[in-house]
Structure 1
């Protein structure tokens, strides 16, 4: 039986024999396309070729592409694990033609590969062709239909509607009719009973799409109309997971060698067994085997789990996997990180980035698992509280959403636990809360983009900003965009000196000048490989040749900081070890921020060593040599490439002393390291699991930073009346302050003790709630204290002094309302009173603030001091 690795290689070898250049997968994390968080289709990295923004170096290409579908239009998350063929991360095998061959060859070669190389029986295959769409004035794809007739019996050629046979990447962009190949994997007995063509595109688990030939002919505009593309292209995709399943004769993708190793390791670790009678356990095994791939490869490509954007998607997938092994496999400790070594070894040859970063990725995943497992326990306690206060045997929508939003609980986990307690969940209320959050998020990030207005025949744009900060340029096209209610414009030039934000370096600003016409450019970014200039206003007439001029000072100071990051990176590897790898950066005119893999806080000595090495290289005035070569040549000479970056056939290599720093980099750099002047680290700290961050300054910014600190020291010296030894003067001041603080605390303690006696005398006896109507002591006063901590301590001490006390103390502390409620343990135990609940329900709304705490002691703070007596009266009335 062929292995998955052999099947993948046969695909690449076949198309190599047809004149295709084999190219590497693009990173799974998308950086220069505002319409995507992740690569969700094989065509993403070739989008500019389809739009005509860039000319392809090779007109025939084949690859295997890492893809992720968990958000947006292409979202398979909820089906993953439940069925046998959907995945989050999957491999898309593809062959591409950029203005070269079209339908005839694409159809012929797909049939040849499937039936002759892979030897899939022809009587198990069906093909679909676009039937046309009258509303869009699109005819039936007769061309594809006729080509298929040369290979396939007509009864096996099926017509498909726009939903199934017209491929679109999104609401706008390249699109066209497509022709799919479906395979019937059912046993012969079932095939004889029911005709397979009736099950095509009917979600049958054993009659599945295996290949899609997309014929790129159109560009979908914002108004929904279709515009012919400059050239016709072929975009094909075949999911490796499904292909391997068919060739290996399995009924499930998860029974192939792409997943069985991970499933077997999960069995070994957890003690649970896959394929037994427990369907939920099996779903858990499949979810884990799928999700671990998405988690591992996105982190390896540079996307760390976080609370926003793409990082939140990865955290969500990870937590979904944790929930499955925690609940269904009854495994209560981190599991996913233990599966990483086997996964890295499995993909070592095709996607080596995971194996190269195995320790880092595993540690990041383990820390995420540890954090969520702790959160699970907290969330379960919150659920216990919710169970005690349910109405109509239902967990409310807001509580379910709080569990999701605050504790990371998926709604299905909340539902499961509720069912175990004979309760249900208000899922409509949950969905309402979820939709409100989505609407808020969408409103904050929504970008409304008009179609491009073409001024000059559309053509690739050229960057000339390495050699010049000015250039004659014409506007090729522009469009209007609206974000957060504000309109601006995006322009594309035929050539530009403006550096577009990438590699951590911010985009240039400047202006376009033509006589009385002037366009101020406030930012420059990339959309895929297209350089886009941002302007708040533009003149009515954009024809003619402009002088494109970059803000020289801003670019110069930014360039200094970019070169400094290269020296810093090399110094960190020298001091901390070669495990250090860049994990992100920000380079602007004010400072640099450099994120790197390392699992310990840097010591003061390590920071000093790094600074000393960088400043030594600056004093040596090392020439900065920039060369262009193939990536293979660059790697051979020792150049460092960044994980998660997509590099072209020709790369730019920046050398600062061949024995010290060689990196692939598209950013701008100084001519000699001496131009950096001086380098100083401002701070070092953690930003994520296994990732540290250094903020530093160089050049003019370093001079400003040092002068500010010298002035600060001078001011301190003056305030301390110019001691000979400033350090001793500060130390003496600290000691004096500590001594005075102790004296103050002792005095406050005496005052509070005296207040305690007075308040006990003022206490009011009252009858507790039924049934026994025991006597309680209510103490409610507005007191004079200096701190919220003092108020809290006084309340606590009073509740401990009398075993039937209920204490409500209020204070005006620096113009803010402060309240503390303390209830004796015995009263809480026997009467079920809850200080935290009283604070939230009775106190916080009155004082226009918030608070909380335990049943025996809780506090609140707020804006409305005038309501303090009302607080006491309200609690008294409630009791």
Structure 2
């Protein structure tokens, strides 16, 4: 059964069971601070389980893109080494929100697997929760009894809390679960050991394919469980594992989900899959990782150095280094797999086809960048090897290479072993653990349970229409972290505060009670459909009505910038072409940032045209035309632009200024004239095919022009009020350039003269030409003298010093004959002598420099130099 048929049979089955079929949500999460990525099928529905929103249907089914590479669910390092773990995977799921429960979920799962898919009942096992005395939970006898109607009792296994109790996190909805496992071993293997003994034992052919979670409890902050008023069903079935079973193969990678990609890797690398274990691991890693990276980029997450972007970069770099090390690919090639992937999965996930060119460009550039890093790392590693005495390379050095330069530790270990050296793995792990401890300490956080003041209050956002409102506090909780200290999160029955979202920063402001007491709102965010207000203090009179007031100035400036992003988007499409699409934005009160797809740097003329286009719309005084709660299809038919990677509901809000119309939940000015003026301050590349514009509006533009005007008159004053200041400045630059050339010539002549004088000062000690001396030269002059003397004398050991602007500098030159013959190293010399000038440095074995802040230590450093050859 082909994978596309497997997927469609699942969705059709639950459609017949009165489920609404919904599309996969974007994999990158925008309003859940506890997760970077969707890591399970239930993640997009958290707000329903938490009771913060009503689902459009009580029964839902879907196939959800999931990524497990960080936090609690992290399968990254296992990927490639076994045949059933993945970074990106599809999770087929059916959901019940307060509708059906265990009986139907179990019966339908059995019907689908055994009757629709035709899986032999004799290769299936199920597990049920055995209970947990610590939690005070009993065995799930209800599930056990329902399973008895379908499967022999000796195939119903009891599982502990680790395997058969599912939790969303440390707090929140949770409950017992039943896993369905399949045993696809050969008859001969089954005769040796019963399959029930291999369930949950990480056997590659006895694997879990479906987990039925029975949400019936809520985990409190103190660990206690309370029964939920409404019980829910949350199931997740691994699509890739299911295909393995239905296609009669022994590995997920042997299914048609992966084989087209693997065949393309074989063609590109001229390596065969199935011949050698190391090659097979590399091919599995790459075929898995290209899917994760491609889907992430399609959903709007580009590789970067922070947050979710760093995770994506790390996945791609892991794939590159496996290709580099085990497939001998020293040039970009992973981007070439995107074409096969989009043809294979583009029907089920059209975003792959729509974003194909962008995905290829980004991956190719990332590959090129990391391959350059590997080249640089190899040079640095060679330097470390040359400095190493004995056969053990320090873990501290290896960690610096890993942490500072991004050079993979496994590649370091491999290269060292090839050179007959060992890596101090314990030392490396020690440094790595220190870093993890620092990171953990910085992000450590504790969250109390919500204190409920008004139960079942429906929160309403009124901030589109007013910046002040009388509000009641409905719930609050305390959050403590080492970074931020104690904070309170407040929820009201209604709020004028806009929560961070759609690139727009959250509102600030204050609460005032009838006694005149004020609590400042420092930020506003949205978490699982709830608007949360952050404050340092809890209001004194929590039962009173408060006047909630938004910071008017910040909101207005932010609105100017948000409306400007819409006009900028329209301008870019008009000036550059319809291929331009928004790829991200940040809207603050002081500036706006707009990322968009485009293949080249904008010219001065294009930037001017874009700026003029926006400012003409500002001068045109275009009014805001807003439509709320419009069906999404109707808004798009009306011309509204939707963005890839955004999650839209069935009804949307559309924002129109003239011919600019977009789906948007942010706040905007009533008229474009309120923006006053638009000014681009920078334009540059973010990634391959992605450009970034930063711009300002309103008060920031006024400040910009005032500052530039002030700077202009200061410059003019310095130029003696020249009538043509630009020409006067050009003349100064030319004069300065000519003087610099003269100084360079004089310094070189001085260095030659010094060299001739120093020849007579060389001492021969133990067959070495030695000199340690302080000179009145700059760093370049010391280097010139050292290399001039080095070209004339063999066996030269030279330590030169100088003092420049209150700082000390040491330069050490050692002839290559001494480096190899007497095991001397200039880098090591300056590091050791650098302590006398309270500094440090490094370089190559034959030439190195050190800088320090203590010129008084120069004499001692020079005196100690002789120790190296005496």
Alignment TM-score, normalising by the size of structure 2: 0.96
Q: State the shift of 1:146 in Å.
A: 1.7
Q: Distance in 1 between matches of 2:442 and 2:689?
A: 30
Corresponding residue of 2:417: 419
Other-structure match for 1:653: 654
Q: Distance in 2 between matches of 1:466 and 1:846?
A: 65
Residue 234 of structure 1: CA displacement? 0.8
> C-alpha deviations, 1:541-583, integer Å up to 9, x for none?
3112111110011100000001101111121222223332222
- 1:90-146 Cα shifts (integer Å, max 9, x gaps): 001111111111112111111111112111112221211111111110011122112
Q: Which whole-Å CA distance do the structure 1 matches of 2:853 and 2:306 have between them?
A: 31
Distance 1:656 1:830 in 2: 77
Which is further off, 389-398 or 124-133? 389-398
**Displacement of 1:153 after TM fit?**
2.3
Which position in structure 1 is the counterpart of 2:471?
473
Distance in 2 of aligned mates of 1:571 and 1:793: 55
Task: Give the gaps of 5 or more residues in structure 2.
Answer: none
Across the aligned residues of Structure 1 and Structure 2, the Cα RMSD in angstroms comes to 1.9
Aligned to 1:863: 853
Unaligned stretches of 5+ residues in structure 1 = 768-773
CA-CA distance at 1:829 after TM superposition: 5.3
Q: Deviations over 1:312-356 (max 9, x none)?
A: 222221121112122222222212111011111212122222221
Name the structure 1 match of 2:115.
116
Which residue of 1 is the match for residue 330 of structure 2?
332
Q: Are 1:148 and 2:139 an aligned pair?
A: no
Shift of 1:715: 1.8
Equivalent residue, structure 2, for 1:92: 91
**Counterpart check, 1:449 vs 2:473:** no
The residue matched to 1:42 in structure 2 has which SS?
A: coil
Residue pair 2:471, 2:493 contacting (<8 A) in 1 also: yes
Q: Say whether residues 1:358 and 2:360 are aligned partners.
A: no
User: Cα offset for 1:830?
Assistant: 4.6
- Higher mean C-alpha displacement, 749-758 vs 333-342: 749-758
* Partner Cα separation in structure 2 for residue 733 and residue 603 of structure 1: 28
Distance in 1 between residues matched to 2:617 and 2:163, nearest whole Å = 60
Distance 2:423 2:825 in 1: 25
Aligned twin of 2:23: 24
Other-structure match for 2:195:
196
**Residue 623 (structure 2) aligns with:** 623
1:245 is the counterpart of 2:236: no
Deviation at 1:745, TM superposition (A): 2.6
Shift of 1:838: 1.7
Cα distance change on mapping 1:791 and 1:542 into 2, 3 Å? farther
Distance 1:193 1:707, change over 3 A: same
Matches within 5 A, 1:706-855: 706-767=705-766, 774=767, 776-785=768-777, 787-828=778-819, 830-840=821-831, 842-855=832-845
Matched, 1:676 2:675: yes
Please give the alpha-carbon distance, in whole angstroms, between the structure 2 residues aligned to 1:57 and 1:148: 30
Q: Is the 8 A contact 1:132 1:140 kept in 2?
A: yes
2:23 is paired with a residue whose SS is: coil
CA contact (8 A) 2:342 2:352 kept: yes
- Aligned partners of 2:178 and 2:211 also within 8 Å: yes
Q: Map 1:35-434 to 2 at 5 A.
A: 35-276=34-275, 278-390=276-388, 393-434=391-432
Distance 1:328 1:762 in 2: 55
Please state how far the C-alpha of 1:379 moved relative to its aligned partner.
2.5
1:219 offset after TM fit, Å? Answer: 2.2
Contact 1:52 1:459 in 2 (8 A): no
**Contact (CA 8 Å) 2:365, 2:687: kept in 1 or not?**
no
**How far apart are 1:835 and its partner, in Å?**
1.9
Offset from partner CA, 1:229-258 (integer Å, 9 cap, x none): 342111100010011111111111101110
**3-state secondary structure, aligned to 2:694:** strand
Q: Secondary structure at the match of 1:474?
A: strand
Q: Residue 396 of structure 1 contacts residue 426 of structure 1 at CA under 8 Å; is this kept in 2?
A: yes
Q: Please, which moves more after superposition, 598-607 or 552-561?
A: 598-607
Contact 1:587 1:593 in 2 (8 A): yes
- What SS does structure 2 have at the residue aligned with 1:695? strand
Matched-pair contact (CA < 8 Å) for 1:50–1:229: no
Deviation of 1:298 (Å): 1.2
Assess if the C-alpha contact under 8 Å between 1:50 and 1:231 holds in 2. Answer: no
Q: Structure 1 residue 454: deviation in Å? A: 1.7
State the distance in 2 between where 1:743 and 1:300 align.
Answer: 56
Look up the SS of the partner of 2:866 in the other structure. helix
The equivalent residue for 1:607 is 607
Tell whether the 8 Å contact from 1:51 to 1:219 is kept in structure 2 after alignment.
no
Residues 676-731 of structure 1: per-residue CA shift (max 9 Å, x gap):
11111111122334332211111121121112112211221222122222221221
Residues 458 and 477 of structure 1 are in contact (CA less than 8 Å); yes or no, is this contact kept in structure 2? no
State the distance in 2 between where 1:676 and 1:117 align: 60
Moved more, 292-301 or 220-229: 220-229
CA distance in 2, matches of 1:792, 1:33: 56
Larger mean CA deviation between 394-403 and 56-65 belongs to 394-403
Deviates more, 1:555-564 or 1:663-672: 663-672
Whether the 8 Å contact between 2:626 and 2:656 is mirrored in structure 1 is: yes
Question: 1:276-323 CA distances to partner (integer Å, 9 max, x unpaired)?
Answer: 2x1111111111111111111112222222233222222221121112
8 A contact 2:798–2:814 mirrored in 1: yes
**What is the Cα deviation at residue 826 of structure 1?**
4.7
Q: How many residues align?
A: 866
State the 1:825 CA deviation. Answer: 4.5
> By how many angstroms is 1:476 displaced?
1.4
Find the counterpart in structure 1 of residue 481 from structure 2: 483
More off after superposition, 56-65 vs 424-433 = 424-433
Task: Verify the 8 A CA contact 2:764 2:770 in the aligned structure 1.
Answer: yes
How far, CA to CA, are the matches of 2:806 and 2:209 in structure 1? 70
- CA, structure 1 residues 380+753, in 2 after alignment: closer, same or farther (shift >3 Å)? closer
- Counterpart in the other structure of 2:643: 642
SS in 2 for 1:705: helix
Q: Would you say the 8 A contact 1:129–1:179 is kept in 2?
A: yes
1:770 maps to: none
Asked whether the 8 Å contact 1:506–1:587 carries over to 2, the reply is: yes
* Number of the residue aligned with 1:771: none
Distance in structure 2 (CA, Å) of the matches to 1:847 and 1:599: 50
1:694 correspondence with 2:686: no
Measure the CA separation in 1 of the matches of 2:497 and 2:862: 65
For 1:614 and 1:843, how far apart are their aligned partners in 2?
61
Distance 1:822 1:531 in 2: 65
Cα displacement (A) at 1:792: 2.9
Q: What TM-score do you get using the length of structure 1 for normalisation?
A: 0.95
Describe the shift of the 1:845–1:459 C-alpha distance in structure 2 as closer, same or farther (beyond 3 A). Answer: farther
